Amino acid sequence: MVTVQLWEGRTVEQKRALVQAITEAMVEHAGARPDALHVILQEIPRENWGLA
């Protein structure tokens, strides 16, 4: 399982491309099976993100 936290605002096409790229990288570099991999995108509103 790969979880990515990112700011809101990307298109569906961008998110699909990101999931595909992450899947390909996990298969190539981590030996993951694509049928067993889950990629979760957690979109965070910018107003809910802060730096101390």
Give the domain ranges of the chain.
Answer: 2-47
Q: Which residue has the tokens 């990629």?
A: 39
Residues 13 and 47: their CA atoms lie apart, in Å, by 24
The CATH code belonging to domain 2-47 is: 3.30.429.10
Quote the pLDDT of residue 27: 98
pLDDT in tens, 1-52: 999 999 999 999 999 999 999 999 999 999 999 999 999 999 999 999 888 8
Task: Specify the pTM.
Answer: 0.87
Residues 39 and 50: their CA atoms lie apart, in Å, by 24
